[in-house]
Structure 1
Amino acid sequence: MQRFPKGRWAAVSIGASAILTVGAMTRPHPLARSSPPLAPWADRPGRFIALPKRCRGWRTDGLRRLAGSGPCGRPTGGPTALRTMAPLPVATAAMSLDPPAAPSPDWSAPLGRVGLGAGLWLVACAACAAESAAEAPAPVEAIADLPAITVQAGQLPQRELRVPAALQRVDAATLARVPGGDVADALADVPGVVALNRNNHAQDLQLSMRGFGARAAFGVRGIRLLADGIPLTTPDGQGQVTSLALSSAERLEVLTGPLAQLHGNAAGGVIQTFTREAAATPELRAGIGLGRDGLRRTDWQLARRFGATQSVGLVADLATFETEGWRAHSAARRRQFNTVLTWDVHDQTRLRLIANALDAPLAQDPAGLTAAQWAADPRQAGSQTVARNARKRVSQETLGAVLTQGLGDGLTLEARAYGGQRRNLQHQAASSWVGLQRGFGGLGLQLTGEQSHAAGWPVDWTVGLAWDRSSERRQAGATLAGDASGPLTRHERNVAANTDAFVQAHWQLAERWQLLTGARHSTVRLASRDHWPADGDGSGRIRFRATNPVLGLAWLARADLNLYLSWGRGLETPTLAEVAYRLDGTQVSPAFNTDLGAARSRQWELGAKWHPDRDTRVNLALFHIATRDELVAARSAGGRTAYVNAGQTQRQGLELAARHRLSPHWDAALALTLMRARYGSADTGPSGTALPGIPRRQASLQLRWRQHPQTRSSAALRGTELQLDWLGRAALWADDANRARVAGYGLVHARLQHGFSVGRTELVAHAAIDNLLNKRYVGSVIVNQAAGQYLEPGLPRGWQLGLQARVPF
């Protein structure tokens, strides 16, 4: 049987990606404009190849309508079939938040075509792989020459290709290209993740994964954050991405889908960072960056090993950030320290000590704008924010320890303990202030067994317990000219705690079949004690319990192709911030909301991973999520947001990530997310509308050129590197009623780096231009903002210059 020549699988994959994109985007968007074709390479001769005779039979009428051919064959329409794609809409200079005159397009049919096309493509690939395996069986070890990249799959490490879940890994080389370690830029190429940059350092990044977290008026909700195994998310599901230190990270991992539910409450997705290990040669690293609007960044790192046997490693990282802000009243200053001390006590024992601190003494809050304000001057601050000096101050310190002890016979015991405190003082535009003083901590114990045997099958397994607690004192009062004035109007003690037990196992049913089973039992308690009952006793407590199972089945169809199916249940409780206010008529009242329930979800995921060689990675996932009692923002006013439980919601979509090295000097990457997220019918809350804050389409394209091929023995940059990025997002809604529509946009960014050496010092100079075409767009939205101040403007064209040095000693 004829086999695909090495290197041409990438053309077939990218062609399939384009075909799926055509199926989803054929219907023009009301705001779409004409543009040149996005796939000019399709005109090159020889990019599509003859397939085996058996594969040519894989054709259906549905696929002919989608792309003119079956998933294994040449598009019958030729390259012109790829030219019918409507581009993602580009933001217009003026926008209207009134309901559109024309009805919204029906996206169920395009997504249905995508699901059909992708599903049949998976089946066809599986059939071709099975036929190939039948004629010329290849052992699983056939790709032993490829690097065995290990990732954290739920609570167990596993080889990346074999994980039955959508898991993306961002390595150190990619993170080094991100200007200033910006989390939004680091996640731009991860499908399923929508990182909307508010450009408001008082409210943090608006981050959602498959729609989870989109409701957050500030901070991160519904997503678990971890750094070196230490939770950065409180038991109720609150987190801050500014706590992540990317400058010293070896890698960042993003997990979505059913497998993420093994991390417990509010695990719509999981983002983990892992600090790099100190090398044998001590080194100092220093970096400085400058940009428009008074942007200044510095980063100072020390890495070295100690002891006669070099058994102790230290990585310490201090980063600073300062900006005057593009918008009025948007200046910010921040310092962040992160250090990890690793001690290999002996062959079976390792101790990791983690310490990090964040100090943000100033983060002015420019707030959102109405459509009229945005059209008149997007640089202006929102109503009353300057006169009342709206701002926030935050500080946080965390200490943690992780002890790993080998017990022999493949058993490993891991114990975790951490604790810290956080202080938050916010002055709001509504002539009020809110202060929080929070103490948090937790314990964890986990026993892992490798290559055990049960019922005749090899199995890797883990069981564990986790206990976490957060206690905060919340106070509030009135302000006069931006300063506290008068007596307290709120004084209470809020507590969130969870007690969890989990189990996970990977069963090797056969050489090519693997079964994942797991479950997590969670008990989450929220309580508030009102110490200021002058306006009524706002005390209350709520408890939530759930046992969430997870199942996954993976088939290694070829040594380089994994097909999988997974299912799981999830729990998302309201956060302390979400139960802190109650909706009384049209007023947002400061009282503990005991009426809020937890959202519960059921998730399905079907996917494929194809990793044929070191230079090519293709991951595809289809997902469906059904949630009941979804938590939604009912009303937001003056910095206060009240939440209610809606009825049911449905999320379904497609995620695609593809990366290929075109030549020793060129490589390209594509990330695509198509998602339909809507409310179901409900007696209370939204009914039949689209979930706000979630674009239906998002895509990113990346093209990079290197002067000298980068060797795998060294990550140091040599010579010049040029990178172009394109990020496109479709329109989205800013409210549950779908009356406030925000136009989509497409942005182009350019990055230039040059690496050279002076003696033993390695230097990298870099320059970046963001929003190269100077598009005017809305970067983020404040969902259901009562005064109509939904819009948070995106930044115009901006520049950054920097220099990084690495000095071994």
Structure 2
Amino acid sequence: MVTATRQPSDDLVVPAAVDVVDGRDVRLAQPRINLSESVQRIPGVVARDRQNYAQDQQISIRGFGARATFGVRGIRMYTDGIPATMPDGQGQVSHFLLDAADRIEVLRGPFSALYGNASGGVISLFTADAPVDPFLRGEYVTGSDGLRRGSLSYHAPWGADGEGSFLVDLVDLDTDGYRDHSAASRRQGQMVLKGALGTGGRYTVLANSIDLEADDPQGLTREQLSGDRRAASDGAWTFDTRKTVRQDQVGLNLEQALGGGHGLAFTAYTGNRETTQMLSIPVFVQQRPLHGGGAIDLDRDYFGGDLRWRWEGDWLDRPFSLTAGYSHEVSDERRLGFENFIGDRVGVIGALRRDEDNQVTGRDVYVQADWAPAERWRVNVGARHSRIEFESRDRFVTAANPDDSGSLEYSRTSPVIGVLYRATPTLSLYANAGAGFETPTFAELAYRSDGLSGLNSNLDPARSRNAEVGLRGRNERFEYSAALFHSRTEDEIVVAANEGGRSTYANAEESRRQGVELALAGELAPDWHFATAYTYLDAEYADDFALCGAPPCAVDDLIIQGGRNIPGLAKHFAWGQLRWSPLADTDVMLEGRFSDRVWVNDDNTESAPAYASFDLAAERRFRWAGLEWRGFARINNLFDRDVIGSVIVNEGNGRYYEPAPGRNWMIGLSAGYSFR
């Protein structure tokens, strides 16, 4: 992980769009269930809660990542420097434990290329340090649709001098779900140990675990949406579509100063993720001998390391720093596919139809230089060379199913450059440009639109050229930022078709994203504060391209005309919050968001309508009976608007729409004890 792009002590010297969500904002009158609660306040970021724990959230930055049908795509994610993204670019946020968050940092634009195989940006969660005295807190949240969330946290100083931190957080979540067949349960645990080395260095050890079981209601057609918005699809009921995930991981960060301005940093991690999923693929479709079945069983082991050297000194009598490093990541996966039926029974594990070992290996080298050639100027240049190797060994070979073993390799060097001018002590102007690189994931390579088995070797990596200009400033009452960005992508990876929970992918020709990001926050009066964020995003395909409209296709038969909008994205998105604090321990907040309509397919023949919704929340903190109490209440979607929370791009049966709840409520109460 490159660290020179971010200096938290003074964000006015960073020549890129970087924003921070403070831990207080993460916790204030929030249940801390999903990342979407926190990052929507950052311009350029759209996080959609799908009301479907089987598919995780949809998170996009400047339009990158919106096509993901499950998990997070096109964005690099970290917890305390430990990657939550595999070397092929597929990531998960379900294990992000927000109870321990000190801050969430989001990097957008060209400089995200220095973090590896991603185009949109970087989201990093950093855990808090322990308080001076050991602190134990328990919390319970309840709400609409059977929401029940209990948590227990113990944060304490660590080590003989008490400068280290020991953090333990446990969370138990259950929900009946807003929609039919959308119940879920999620168990999470995390332990963090931070401290000082005898040699003057620092270390962080992080271990976390998640156990998730969730039903999948799938999307609805427009006709179904006009009826019962809470309904699940017919296929969801017939095949009992569902998903289970179990993940355990551990990571280590070490930082050591060597003297003379030199320093080393080392990151290592390992983990295992087991996933089983029942899809709603019809039985007759699976009768083709090369079909991989309608039930998925994945067992993935992953590990990696990153070694960085950094030197800080002077060059031409001006401050200069140089960072160089090497990153090595491996994901080993055993993928099994089964029929989702036995005789006349469906929704059960049937005969084996797919058995293969898959491995992704990422090897990256990177370098970054930061120089202040004059008092008000700063120049930052860097490059990262990535080599991603895919290897698949087919273990299911029959007379009707040939050996589909194979390998693919992608490599790319991504340079970036940024310049910043400190116009005043409180205002900075910056510009940067760079190249981006995004390979297909193994999930995107797993299925072919021609109906044959084996890797989708026709799928090429996406290559982008990105640029932005912006400003960032603050004064005694306000903080503000603005950015203009432009990106052109060759071989954009798009969803060719999505049927029964299985997606096939293809390349578009050239696509374009450009837009404006604005943010303003501050104090209206001593007891009144506000924060706003607005994004304008113009995203379209620049050239005609062909897709397979309804797999299997021998020849692509659907022509997408240039000028069509890229689906899954809103042209306008805005968020705002007005907070009244009549007392030091009381906050009342009104939050609002607006989303323009969202096209659901490449042809732009259907769209989810625009909407505006508002939330009302209040929190009170007090001491009683020797305990520190915190209580909050929220009413979401205050005016009970009909909202499409997210869409499934190019869903083959027209089930594009995932409705969000109408008016709903939640309340929470926590008690904490400080061992003084």
Q: In the alignment, which of 546, 556, 562 is matched to residue 428 of structure 2?
A: 562
Q: Match of 1:471, as an amino acid?
A: D
Say which SS state the counterpart of residue 293 (structure 1) adopts. Answer: helix
Say which SS state the counterpart of residue 277 (structure 2) adopts. Answer: strand
Q: In the alignment, which of 487, 492, 498 is matched to residue 630 of structure 1?
A: 492
**Deviation digits for residues 123-161 of structure 1, max 9, x if unmatched?**
xxxxxxxxxxxxxxxxxxxxxxxxxxxx95537666211
Matches of residues 574-613 of structure 1 in structure 2 within 5 Å? 574-584=440-450, 587=451, 590-613=453-476
CA distance in 2, matches of 1:630, 1:649: 7
CA distance in 2, matches of 1:590, 1:337: 39
**Deviation digits for residues 61-114 of structure 1, max 9, x if unmatched?**
xxxxxxxxxxxxxxxxxxxxxxxxxxxxxxxxxxxxxxxxxxxxxxxxxxxxxx
Contact map agreement 1:156 1:461 (CA 8 A) in 2: no
Partner of residue 473, structure 1: 334
Partner of residue 576, structure 2: 701
1:457 Cα deviation from its structure 2 partner: 2.6
Q: Match of 2:431, as an amino acid?
A: L
CA distance in 2, matches of 1:241, 1:351: 24
Contact map agreement 1:348 1:407 (CA 8 A) in 2: no
1:245 Cα deviation from its structure 2 partner: 1.1
Say which SS state the counterpart of residue 98 (structure 2) adopts. Answer: coil
Say which SS state the counterpart of residue 199 (structure 1) adopts. Answer: coil
Say which SS state the counterpart of residue 215 (structure 1) adopts. Answer: coil
1:267 Cα deviation from its structure 2 partner: 3.9
Partner of residue 277, structure 2: 426
Partner of residue 283, structure 1: 135
CA distance in 1, matches of 2:622, 2:117: 47
Partner of residue 673, structure 1: 535
Q: In the alignment, which of 368, 375, 378 is matched to residue 511 of structure 1?
A: 375
CA distance in 2, matches of 1:251, 1:665: 24
Say which SS state the counterpart of residue 388 (structure 2) adopts. Answer: strand
**Deviation digits for residues 758-783 of structure 1, max 9, x if unmatched?**
14421111000000000012111100
Matches of residues 1-40 of structure 1 in structure 2 within 5 Å? none
Indicate whether 1:389 and 2:240 are aligned.
Answer: yes
1:307 Cα deviation from its structure 2 partner: 3.4
Say which SS state the counterpart of residue 577 (structure 1) adopts. Answer: helix
Indicate whether 1:220 and 2:72 are aligned.
Answer: yes
Q: Match of 1:707, as an amino acid?
A: P
Structure 1 residues 345 and 338, CA gap change in structure 2 (3 angstroms)? same
Say which SS state the counterpart of residue 441 (structure 1) adopts. Answer: strand
Partner of residue 541, structure 1: 407
Partner of residue 619, structure 1: 481
**Deviation digits for residues 360-400 of structure 1, max 9, x if unmatched?**
1x200000010001111111101221121110000000111
CA distance in 2, matches of 1:474, 1:627: 31
**Deviation digits for residues 510-529 of structure 1, max 9, x if unmatched?**
11000011111110111211
CA distance in 1, matches of 2:569, 2:250: 35
**Deviation digits for residues 282-339 of structure 1, max 9, x if unmatched?**
1111111000111001111111123332244201111111001121100000011111
CA distance in 2, matches of 1:540, 1:637: 25
Partner of residue 29, structure 1: none
Partner of residue 145, structure 1: none
Indicate whether 1:526 and 2:390 are aligned.
Answer: yes
The TM-score with structure 1 as length reference comes to 0.78
Partner of residue 687, structure 1: 561
CA distance in 2, matches of 1:155, 1:196: 26
Contact map agreement 1:427 1:482 (CA 8 A) in 2: no
CA distance in 1, matches of 2:454, 2:372: 52
Partner of residue 732, structure 1: 598
Q: In the alignment, which of 216, 223, 228 is matched to residue 377 of structure 1?
A: 228
CA distance in 1, matches of 2:425, 2:32: 39
Q: In the alignment, which of 614, 617, 622 is matched to residue 756 of structure 1?
A: 622
Q: Match of 1:340, as an amino acid?
A: V
Q: In the alignment, which of 358, 361, 365 is matched to residue 497 of structure 1?
A: 361
Contact map agreement 1:294 1:325 (CA 8 A) in 2: yes
Q: In the alignment, which of 181, 186, 191 is matched to residue 43 of structure 2?
A: 191
Partner of residue 268, structure 2: 417
Contact map agreement 1:180 1:289 (CA 8 A) in 2: no
Say which SS state the counterpart of residue 662 (structure 1) adopts. Answer: strand
CA distance in 2, matches of 1:630, 1:479: 32
Contact map agreement 1:175 1:181 (CA 8 A) in 2: no
User: What percent of counterpart residues are identical?
Assistant: 39
Partner of residue 71, structure 1: none
Partner of residue 26, structure 1: none
Q: Match of 2:14, as an amino acid?
A: V
Structure 1 residues 376 and 290, CA gap change in structure 2 (3 angstroms)? same
**Deviation digits for residues 696-737 of structure 1, max 9, x if unmatched?**
00001110000224xxxxxxxx1x210000100000100011
Partner of residue 746, structure 1: 612
1:607 Cα deviation from its structure 2 partner: 0.1
Say which SS state the counterpart of residue 234 (structure 2) adopts. Answer: coil
Say which SS state the counterpart of residue 229 (structure 2) adopts. Answer: coil
Indicate whether 1:167 and 2:167 are aligned.
Answer: no
Q: Match of 2:131, as an amino acid?
A: A
Contact map agreement 1:289 1:297 (CA 8 A) in 2: yes
Indicate whether 1:777 and 2:643 are aligned.
Answer: yes
Matches of residues 396-415 of structure 1 in structure 2 within 5 Å? 396-415=247-266
CA distance in 1, matches of 2:442, 2:535: 31
Structure 1 residues 272 and 321, CA gap change in structure 2 (3 angstroms)? same
Matches of residues 459-470 of structure 1 in structure 2 within 5 Å? 459-470=320-331
**Deviation digits for residues 393-414 of structure 1, max 9, x if unmatched?**
0000011111111111222111
Partner of residue 655, structure 2: 789
CA distance in 2, matches of 1:201, 1:181: 11
Partner of residue 339, structure 1: 191
Q: Match of 1:516, as an amino acid?
A: N
CA distance in 1, matches of 2:356, 2:340: 19
Q: Match of 1:334, as an amino acid?
A: R
Contact map agreement 1:161 1:611 (CA 8 A) in 2: no
Q: Match of 2:325, as an amino acid?
A: G
Structure 1 residues 312 and 565, CA gap change in structure 2 (3 angstroms)? closer
* Ranges in structure 2 where 5+ consecutive residues have no aligned partner: 283-293, 548-559
* Ranges in structure 1 where 5+ consecutive residues have no aligned partner: 1-150, 710-717
1:347 Cα deviation from its structure 2 partner: 6.0
Q: Match of 1:569, as an amino acid?
A: A
Q: Match of 1:390, as an amino acid?
A: T
Q: Which protein has the bigger helix share? A: 1
Q: Match of 2:468, as an amino acid?
A: E
Q: Match of 1:752, as an amino acid?
A: A
CA distance in 1, matches of 2:454, 2:602: 23
CA distance in 1, matches of 2:610, 2:199: 54
Q: Match of 2:263, as an amino acid?
A: T
Contact map agreement 1:311 1:345 (CA 8 A) in 2: no
Indicate whether 1:802 and 2:632 are aligned.
Answer: no
Matches of residues 188-337 of structure 1 in structure 2 within 5 Å? 188-337=40-189
**Deviation digits for residues 547-606 of structure 1, max 9, x if unmatched?**
11110000000111100000010100000000000001xx5x553111111000010000
CA distance in 1, matches of 2:453, 2:670: 48
Contact map agreement 2:157 2:164 (CA 8 A) in 1: yes
Matches of residues 48-67 of structure 1 in structure 2 within 5 Å? none
CA distance in 2, matches of 1:300, 1:559: 43
Structure 1 residues 482 and 350, CA gap change in structure 2 (3 angstroms)? farther
CA distance in 2, matches of 1:590, 1:772: 49
The TM-score with structure 2 as length reference comes to 0.93
CA distance in 2, matches of 1:168, 1:679: 29
